Structure 1
Amino acid sequence: MASGVVHLDPPPAVFRAMLEGWAVQQRTRFLKATTIQARIELVKRFAAYTNQYPWQWQAAEVEAFIDHLRSQSHPIVVSTARGYQNTLRLFMEYVTDSRYGWQRLCEDEFGQVPTQILHEWNSVAHVTEFEGDPRRRPLTYDEVQALFDAADGRVQEIRDRGRKGALAAMRDAALLKTVYAFGLRRREAWGLDLTDLRHNPKAVQYGRFGALFVRWGKSSRGSQPKRRTVLTVPEMDWIVPVLDQWLDEARPLFNPGKLPALWVTERCDRLSRRSVNEAFVDARDAAGLPAELDLHCLRHSYVTHLIEFDYPERFVQDQVGHEYASTTALYTGVGDEYRNRLLKRSLERQGKLWGAS
């Protein structure tokens, strides 16, 4: 609040100043603008629901707000509720922190002070690591093949109908195969440039596709996108001719000029992130796969299949850029065949030990 300024309507002026100050605090931490804006909008939404200001809020208001969102025709899920509660908790921590002076100002102006309204008894407990839709899972080998067959089939189908879009369908098929072959997130695949294709001196047989340099990895706590190099593994070396064909035959037909992007559009622009999702949905629906499967399931499939190929967990963790091994474990959904293979090995080892004794 500006000193020496008398506001005709102090409550909304103080609330606006609180929001502006909180936004500055978050920008100082280099949080993303989209994250900050979403948090600000939620606080405004809560204020509109309660028809009160932060110095008037009580625990009952936030409890009624979450209960209201749960009773809608499309109720919020647990992870969304926790996100909302965390956002409101962070805002209240800001306005109740004595270093910012909001409690003193509110006491002088309104005779009330803001207090923390979220505590352990009205917040969602985080009791499990994974809270996503249990129907979302890694694809089986047959489902991956069906997805790729459907993506390739769309190319010929469009050509047979004499319609435009066959070239884009060819691009989408190569894109989906790349996402799976390197275990990429959507943003990581979207941000690939030609210069991100790397040689691996230990696998010269893969030529310019021995590795991918990922520059748009997932960031956290205001950090820049994390970078990593993903090596081409022998079980996925079928991606080499796919990318060869894309670069040498298909991509030049888009006339991209000096555009650095690996995935380009007919308008000589980088493919949008939304279009990456749509490429998966089109192939998934054409293959008749369950609607709950999404693009990220290919990344889960990559992790699972590398584990089933007997790669060490640490190698898999580095390939996909997970900070913690527990995150990689959540992505893994190995099949019965793999577990039976491990069981057989264990039994064989025990048999040898018994034979030796």
Structure 2
Amino acid sequence: MGSDEMGQVVPLRGVAPRDRGDQVLGDMLTGWRHQQLSRNLSFTTIDSRARVVARFIEHCNEMPWAWTVSHVDEFFGDLRAEHNLSRSTVRAYQNGLRMFCDYLTDPRYGWDTICEQAFGTHPSQVVHDWNSAGHHQDNEQDPRKRAFTRDELQAFFDRADQEVTRIRELGRKGWLPAFRDAVLFKVAYAWGLRRNEVRHLQTVDFSRNPHAREFGRFGQLQVRYGKAHTGSAPKRRSVLTVRGWSAEVVEHWITNGLPLFGDGIDLFPTERGTLVSEAALGARFRRYRDELGLDDRLDMHSFRRSYVTHLLEDGVDAMFVQHQVGHEHASTTAIYSCVSSDYRTRTLRHALDTCLSEALLGRADTSREGRRR
């Protein structure tokens, strides 16, 4: 038995009985892959779900038509106990397994009939609401994660610049990638970008903003690889330049560093002409962070958190910040806000002083009214 290009089950001839289980499993996975491709899901998503299914099969040592809810409980119990997976990862694994079972139990694909004829049983849904993690709130980010303080951010950028100088003075080639990454980190903060967004930038993504001529040709930035909705293309957005030093940083890089990589238009290429990898960026980020003695609550996404936090601390309108980072809802932007204790203290002092002034003014008005009477 097999599946055609549309994912429908078709008979397979010449398959030995002892090979039938592996053959049917392979056809199930192929058909599920086709179904997901037709839904316009990314290859990365499809492959990660297939790995979860393969891992589950290896753990329980059973084919899908023999799975039980006990297998699910044992699998995720072991994952939680041994690997301490995050809540979002556990739920993603369970969701992938649930969707595979949904595909197998859908009568339109005919796997129930095929398995009954071949194995005397049929697939069933084994991931239910009562044995899987629920999604009860929008924000499930690690509570330890936070933004940089301004001093920490300056120290990090200084460390990145010092690395460029150190390697160059030693006469080694590694100064150019270090220079590239130092600029990339600053750009991620200056425009509030995610790691994948900043990796994909090109020189042509910058343009002039007629309302902010002081930034020259770097007045605004078109982000082409924004976070996508499921089954959709990357979401584009335009980010206006707000940091006075940011245009100078990019101009310096395009003039003095980028040409040494060749004639391409990618803003942050490697010497092989590919885009700098997320793994390489993460490794360099962690090295600088650890050398500075900063805690592990800071990661590359902290540049984006810091962008939101520092703009709000500077009194920038929250709606403007929301549009800059591409959030559909203000509540999402609020999650990113990690205003510093100094800012909170100043805000509290202002609120208290205002309330006190209003109270004193009210008493004075009452006193004058009493005297008039």
Match of 1:209?
218
Gaps of 5+ in 2: 1-8, 366-373
Match of 2:233 among 203, 224, 241: 224
Q: CA RMSD, aligned part only?
A: 2.1
SS of equivalent to 2:172: coil
1:263 offset after TM fit, Å? Answer: 1.6
SS of equivalent to 1:338: helix
Distance in 2, Cα, partners of 1:82 & 1:69: 12
| Structure 1 stretches of at least 4 aligned residues deviating more than 6 Å after TM superposition | none
Match of 1:275 among 277, 280, 299: 280
Match of 1:340?
345
Match of 1:86?
95
Distance in 1, Cα, partners of 2:183 & 2:93: 38
The answer as to whether partners of 1:314 and 1:325 remain within 8 angstroms in 2 is yes
Q: Deviations over 1:50-88 (max 9, x none)?
A: 22122211100110111122332x332322221111111
1:311 offset after TM fit, Å? Answer: 2.1
1:161 offset after TM fit, Å? Answer: 3.1
1:44 offset after TM fit, Å? Answer: 1.8
Match of 2:250?
243
281-290 or 41-50, which moves further after superposition? 281-290
TM-score (normalised: structure 2):
0.87
SS of equivalent to 2:235: coil
- Does residue 24 (structure 1) correspond to residue 31 (structure 2)? The answer is no
150-159 or 98-107, which moves further after superposition? 98-107
Match of 2:5?
none
Distance in 1, Cα, partners of 2:57 & 2:311: 48
1:116 offset after TM fit, Å? Answer: 1.3
Match of 2:118 among 109, 114, 132: 109
Match of 2:265?
260
What code does the residue aligned with 1:58 have? T
312-321 or 267-276, which moves further after superposition? 267-276
1:352 offset after TM fit, Å? Answer: 5.5
What code does the residue aligned with 1:190 have? R
SS of equivalent to 2:238: strand
Distance in 1, Cα, partners of 2:76 & 2:333: 31
The answer as to whether partners of 1:200 and 1:211 remain within 8 angstroms in 2 is yes
Match of 2:317 among 312, 321, 328: 312
The answer as to whether partners of 2:261 and 2:269 remain within 8 angstroms in 1 is no
**Structure of greater relative contact order (alpha carbons < 8 Å, 6+ residues apart):** 1
Match of 2:6?
none
Q: Deviations over 1:136-190 (max 9, x none)?
A: 2111111101101111111222233343322332222211111111111111111
189-198 or 313-322, which moves further after superposition? 313-322
1:4 offset after TM fit, Å? Answer: 6.5
Match of 2:11?
3
